[in-house]
Amino acid sequence: MRCILLFKGKSLARGPIEDIYGLTDMQRAMLVRCASYPDQPLYMGQWWALLTSPLDAAGFCAAWAAVVTRHAALRTGFHWELKGAPTQMVLAAPAFEVQRIDWTAQDDWRSALDALLADDRAHPFDVRRPPLMRVRLLTLAPERHLLVWTRHHLTVDGWSLGDILDEVLTLYRGGAIPPAVSFRRYVEWWQGRDVAAANRHWSAVLAGYAPDTVIRSSAISAPRIGEVASVLPADVAERLDQVARAERLTLSTLLEGAWALVLARSSGADDVVFGCVETVRPPELLGDRSTHMVGPQIGVLPSRVHRDTTPLRQWLAELQRARAAGREAGPLGLDTMRELLGLPSDALPLRSLIAVQTYPLALATAFRAAGLEIAASGDVTLPDMPLNLMVEIGENFELRLMFDHQHVSAEEGRQLLDMLATALRLLPAQLDAAANTLDLMPEPLQTRIEAALQGRALPTPAGTVLDLILAQMSAQPDAPAIRANGRVWSYAELGARAAALATRLATAGVQPGARVAVMLDHGPEAVAAVLGIMWSGAAYVPLDPDAPAERRSMILVSAGVAAVVTRRASAAAFSGIATIMVEDIAPESSALETMKRPAASDEAYVIFTSGSTGRPKGVSVGHDNLRYHVAASAAENADLPIARFLLTFPLFFDGSVTGLFCTLCDGGTLVMPDAAASRDVDALVALIRSADATHVCMTPSLWAMLLDAAGPQGFPGVRMAKVAAEPCPPALVAAHARGAPHAVLCNEYGPTEATVWVCVERCRPETTGTSVAIGHPIPGTYLHVVDCEGRPCPFGTVGELIISGPAVARAYVGAALGIDLRTTLLGGTTYRTGDQVSLGFDGRLSFHGRRDRQVKVAGYRIEPGEIEAALQTQPGILEAAVVVEQTDGQPARLVAHLGAGSDTPGDAELRRQLATKLPAYMIPQAFVRHRRLPRIASGKVDTMALPRATLSEASEAPPQGPLETSLAAIWSELLGGARVSRHDHFFALGGSSLLAMRMIARVRRDLALPATLADLFEAPQLSALADRLNAASDKVAPGPALTVRPRTRVELPT
């Protein structure tokens, strides 16, 4: 039958059609990708050979044409645009001829060949038009020819290449070959095999496996192919062959085992799955003729490997048994594999494939058998998964790793290949070692990683920060030290205040080495108190004035404080302990130089953080730690010395340490907002401008709000903005570039236990992605990224961050005495942060969350266990689980899930009770009640099964009047789309202090009302706030509803 097949007016097949039939699973998967990216050279392979023997070119070309005519697969095109399932259509006589090219004038044939291969790949096959094969014969000299053979894997596999070439050479020599068998027979066998049995086997194999990364094919653009290659030394290949024979293992088993270990080590997972390309040529199909059928007779067998403590010898034997069982069950269709793994329909079921090939050697052998010598040859195969390992076993043992640059960088590819070569080198000698202990890191790689994680050298600084501050007081006594509340304190005045307090503490019996608590509002008196306490030889312990009395008492007892420095109005809260009131202290004229100053080995301060046991945990930081911190900051930021530093962090937050001590040691001025201004976006904007602040440091969410509030005018005077305490979003980098273009934006990272910070990223405006790196280690710091066995992680692998060097604090104190802050690991004293990070090839660290349950909300480090312990003291609450919820563009919020009876207190009462035990930032924004909390098999709460909390859906009392309606619109936008009633409470809906600041700024800007945070705190209900604002202003008159201006800037999460 001769026909012209048309689709939408275009010719798809021209000429007599011999046969039409379906596709195998592998063909169908390849066809989907080819149809999605028709302009890409997907599944193309290129083999070339330099022939150095006399050749009858005409006869050679005729033999090729005859073989194409013989095999249905070589005359096949593929169609999916017609009604029904995709089909392969065999033409009786498609046009084919070997292209002959004269290259006798070509001086550099190798470079010309590379260009030809690249051009060939730039013209992919139209898979609808057979034959999907191109052959070129290029004549270099009478007895020197280049053969270039390009084919598509839709129609041939590696085994077929040998069969095709064997037939070509047999016909070339005038030999006879038996009739060909159509690929239809194979397709029919494939479609009729026992799929149910195979699925049962693979369902058991893959049960419980969850890929750590799901790659959606719908999100993949056209692949960009990269390749790295390596040839194993002959002695390594020989040892592998000897081990395989001695242990009755196949070389494929050794290769797949080594690849599994590399994937596990590089991903940080002990449970990995990859695909093994397997030849599927059942003997029962055609008896001894089955190997002569041309066509893609291959499948993918998933290989699931657990890296554990099993000795390698036993581990490899089990891997081989599993592969044999999989081979018996048969290959698994990619669609079925996707279903068994529970992946979306557009997800790639595998990230990695391995194929062990021998056909390049077979092709060369076939030529020599025909009397044709090959001087050189090569093979290029384009990958079909993000990561493809091809091992060619021939005269050399060649490893070729091909990858898609969208998912694997060239450096990552080289690292993986180097680790694989290391694994293959070590395997023969370590068969009795546990599988999870094989060290796959080549020494050059380890050296490079260690260098990247070591801060530049920093000489041990002499003295303490008090020596540096005293030097500033002597050198510039009249220079401004602090600007706050409309007045300026000079360095001399600050010194006199600190000296007076130091004297008073000594009079009160406070001994050097003691601890003294300080509870003062944010301002100059607090700074003077800190310095006075330190000059007395004691360590300061800052308290949160807004914290519940119970929590403050807990800290006082845990720290064993000898005295408290506070104001007279707060003194009654500290009965039974020596209390010194700042109002009673007059400036001291005595010279600070005469006072006994602490040694570097003495304790400087103790800051308490949230504790997992339900009690706050104190971190003791020494003067040596603090002196190093200041020296590292000066070295890191030598190009931008501090002139005027806006100190927004309160004393009880360790971020205050940087601003306070680095500024005073540098001779700069601290700019300190009062309590009201520190919560007012517009006031902070005005203060930065009026004080001409050159340096600011705050959470990313607060800096985002200030940039937004500053508008086009921005902050031209700021030279450095430091953000810390929570992840920095890329959108903030862009906002910063607009609002403070002359300022460096630094994303800093560090735990309290490492004296505030250990690494920093100077952000670049072109930053993209979902997060901003936390950068490189600061001077003098040594960092380590380790896996669960404590071994260094390769580049790009997520592991736990370990800190060593002078940043590591002294110890935990009080209630945390049973917890070791420092550990002996990696040959020195270190601190295990519990934070998950990865080191990029550019030497920059990225943050990936916590190993444990510790979280950060609004910049505060919170242990959910402390909140859960407080909740479980309430009547009717049998169990509690606290989690963090966050949606795109919205602030994180704490949600408490309660296993509770019917007599549980209501939300308002729970908040009231928690407020007596916990600071405001630790009180959940939402409560979800359950009969019992879901648990996993181990008995732990299954946090993944907890439902998301829903915000208020109240509608029985909608907002009334224009102001309530406008306020409700602002609330709803900030709170993630919650439906707001006039009786709703801002904080009960999930509002936080940072959201409150944003809300007040919006009211001022969009509604032109003089709102303050005090208005919201005193009238948090929508209707009450509207009444309060109406009473305070005559700007809102009855009439149409006020219109909330649409936002043109991105709202960043708090």
Least confident interval from 7-11, 143-147, 513-517, 622-626: 7-11
Give the separation between CA 935 and CA 944, rounded to whole angstroms. 10
Residue 195 in any domain: the answer is no
Distance between CA atoms of residues 38 and 124, nearest Å: 8
> How do 539-542 and 515-519 pair as beta strands?
parallel
Choose one of 881, 912, 945: the last residue of a domain. Answer: 945
Sign of CA dihedral 313, 319, 325, 327: negative
* 464, 597 contact by CB (below 8 A): yes
pLDDT at 572 over 50: yes
Residues 1012-1042: tens digit of each pLDDT: 877 887 788 888 899 889 887 754 444 334 4
Please check whether residues 422 and 471 belong to one and the same domain: no
Structural domain includes residue 801: no
Residue 16 confidence (pLDDT): 87
Domain boundary residue, one of 749, 781, 813: 781
Q: Do 611 and 759 share a structural domain?
A: yes
Are 923 and 966 contained in the same domain? no
Give 234: exposed, middle or buried? Use CB within 10 Å, 0-12, 13-18, 19+: exposed
Q: Is residue 851 part of a domain?
A: no
pLDDT band for position 818 (cuts 50, 70, 90): very low
The reply to whether 879 and 998 lie within a common domain is no
Q: What is the pLDDT of residue 361?
A: 65
887 — pLDDT class (breaks 50, 70, 90): low
What pLDDT digit, counting tens, does each position of 335-359 carry?
788 888 877 666 778 889 998 877 6
Identify the DSSP state of 950. Answer: P
Q: What single DSSP character describes residue 347? A: B
Predicted confidence band of residue 731 (pLDDT cuts 50, 70, 90): confident
| pLDDT recorded at residue 576 | 86
| pLDDT at 244 > cutoff 90 | yes
**73: nearest Cα among 131, 155, 152, 149:** 155
pLDDT band of residue 72 (cuts 50, 70, 90) is very high
Q: What CATH number does the domain containing 997 carry?
A: 1.10.1200.10
- The CATH code of the domain that includes 766 is 3.40.50.12780
Residue 546 lies in a domain: yes
> 211: which residues sit within 8 A by CB, 6+ positions away?
273, 341, 343, 351
- Domain span holding position 904: 863-945
Lowest mean pLDDT among 434-438, 451-455, 657-661: 434-438
**Nearest-angstrom CA–CA distance, 486 and 197:** 82
Domain check: are 153 and 21 in the same one?
Answer: yes
* Residue owning tokens 């040859």: 377
- The stretch 528-554 carries a mean pLDDT of 94
Distance CA 724, CA 742 (A): 20
Domain with residue 427: its CATH number is: 3.30.559.30
Torsions phi, psi for 874 (to 5 deg): -85, 145
476, pLDDT greater than 90: yes
Share of the chain above pLDDT 70, in %: 88
Among positive and negative, which fits the CA dihedral 56, 57, 63, 67?
Answer: positive
**228 assigned to some structural domain:** yes
**Which pair of structure tokens corresponds to residue 212?**
């750590």
Q: How many domains does the chain have?
A: 5
| pLDDT for residue 979 | 78
Question: What length does the chain have?
Answer: 1054
Q: Is residue 920 part of a domain?
A: yes
446 band by pLDDT with thresholds 50, 70 and 90: very high
Model confidence band, residue 938 (pLDDT cutoffs 50, 70, 90): very low
The answer to whether the beta carbons of residues 165 and 366 sit under 8 Å apart is yes
1045 pLDDT above the threshold of 80: no
The model's confidence at residue 679, banded by pLDDT at 50, 70 and 90, is confident
Pairwise pLDDT comparison (774 vs 365), residue with the higher score: 774
Top mean pLDDT of 275-279, 362-366, 473-477, 548-552 is at 473-477
Q: Which of 460, 454, 355, 349 is nearest to 402 (CA)?
A: 355
Residue 612 confidence (pLDDT)? 61
| Residues 6+ positions from 129 with CB-CB distance below 8 Å | 12, 13, 77, 94
Quote the pLDDT of residue 1038: 43
Q: From 857, 884, 882, 861, select the one nearest 871 (Cα to Cα).
A: 882
Contact 803, 777 (CB under 8 A): no
Answer yes or no: is 893 within a domain.
yes
Per-residue pLDDT band for 1044 (boundaries 50, 70, 90) equals very low
Kindly report the CATH number assigned to the domain that includes residue 32.
3.30.559.10
pLDDT at 528: 97
- Cα–Cα dist 720/634, whole Å: 13
pLDDT of residue 820: 56
Q: Whose structure tokens read 């006075």? A: 532
Name the least confident of 134-148, 306-320, 644-658, 982-996. 982-996
Dihedrals phi, psi of 2, to nearest 5 degrees: -105, 130
Query: What's the mean per-residue pLDDT of the chain?
Result: 85
Using 50, 70 and 90 to split pLDDT, how confident is the model at 552?
A: very high
Cis geometry, peptide bond prior to residue 131 (ω within 30 degrees of 0): yes
* The residue type at 497: R
Q: Which region holds residue 269: left if phi is over 0, alpha if psi is between -120 and 50, else beta?
A: beta
**Which of 945, 978, 1005 is where one domain is finished?**
945
- Residue 9: predicted pLDDT: 39
pLDDT at 36 over 80: no
* Residue 900: CATH number of its domain: 3.30.300.30
- Could you give the CA distance from residue 130 to residue 294 in angstroms, rounded to a whole number? 15
In this prediction, residue 74 carries a pLDDT of 95
Residue 551 counted as domain residue: yes
In terms of C-beta density within 10 A (0-12 exposed, 13-18 middle, 19 or more buried), how is residue 754 classed? buried
How far apart CA 1048 and CA 1054 sit, in angstroms, is 18
Most confident of 216-220, 443-447, 614-618: 443-447
pLDDT of residue 1052 exceeding 60, the answer is no
In the block, tokens 């055609």 appear at 286
Are 401 and 478 in a shared domain? no
pLDDT digits (tens, 9 = 90+) for 782-792: 999 999 888 99
- Of the candidates 867, 871, 920, the one whose C-alpha atom is nearest the C-alpha of residue 898 is 871
Q: Verify that 396 and 506 share a domain, yes or no.
A: no
Give the pLDDT of residue 82. Answer: 66
Predicted pLDDT at 345: 60
Q: Which residue has the tokens 């809260």?
A: 573
Are residue 73 and residue 169 in the same domain, yes or no? yes
Picking from 874, 948, 880, the residue whose alpha carbon sits closest to that of residue 910 is: 874
- Is 63 found in the same domain as 29? yes
Strand bridging mode 644-647 / 669-672: parallel
711 shares its domain with 578: yes
Judge if 932 and 958 occupy the same domain.
no
Task: Indicate if 422 and 480 belong to the same structural domain.
Answer: no
H/E segment holding residue 206: helix 195-206
